[in-house]
Amino acid sequence: MTTEISISNSVRQKCSRKLYECTKKSKIPKPFHIAKEIEKGIYNYMLNQNDNNKTRALKIYRDKIVSIYYNLEHTKSFVKRLKIGAIMPQDIPYMSPQEIAPEVWMPLISRRNRENELIETTKGAIITTTEECGRCHHNEHETHESQTRGVDEGTTQFYKCTNCGNEWKQ
């Protein structure tokens, strides 16, 4: 089952023309053909979402066009893989942002992993009495400091009340 949604040929042509600007500029072999294939892939992707709501379906189509256009313009590794045939145009709409632009996403993901690791290793440190729990006014809690953000953003102090388990950070 696919949806009944259809997009006019003139809109589809406009979109593949826009994509063609990029494929041509990036010197991708057979730029016109590749742009058409990408657009066709996006159109089929939209149909495969089985969303009979026209507004949502058009949004799916438009968002994919915009995102792939952006990556064709800015993501060197993506263009390179497309050039050498390591990516099939019709598969592009199914690729995750990480797959399309690993150089953008991987540093963020590994930073997130490092942060989580840091939070794990610094858990449950010391008991202090300088802060009062906002919930039960108990003044004994576990605390630890974590330098998880950029260096210039300083450290975050985490607290956990030993009485009621309330957690907060400063």
Contacting positions for Zn ion (CB under 5 A): 133, 135-136, 138, 161, 163-164, 166
Residue 129 Cβ vs Zn ion, minimum distance, rounded to whole Å: 13
Residue 159 Cβ vs Zn ion, minimum distance, rounded to whole Å: 10
Q: Which is nearer to Zn ion, 69 or 168 (CB)?
A: 168
Q: Which is nearer to Zn ion, 28 or 161 (CB)?
A: 161
CA–CA gap between residue 43 and residue 156 (Å, rounded): 46
Q: Which is nearer to Zn ion, 73 or 140 (CB)?
A: 140
Q: Which residue has the tokens 């915009």?
A: 66
CA–CA gap between residue 93 and residue 164 (Å, rounded): 48
Q: Which is nearer to Zn ion, 80 or 135 (CB)?
A: 135
Long-range contacts of 14-19 (CB under 8 A, 24+ apart): 15/39, 15/42, 15/65, 18/65, 18/69, 19/65, 19/68, 19/69, 19/72
Q: In what order do the strands lie in the sheet with 126-128?
A: 126-128, 141-146, 156-161, 167-169
Residue 167 Cβ vs Zn ion, minimum distance, rounded to whole Å: 9
Q: Which is nearer to Zn ion, 98 or 163 (CB)?
A: 163
Residue 160 Cβ vs Zn ion, minimum distance, rounded to whole Å: 9
Residue 162 Cβ vs Zn ion, minimum distance, rounded to whole Å: 8
Cβ 97 vs Cβ 105: under 8 Å:
yes
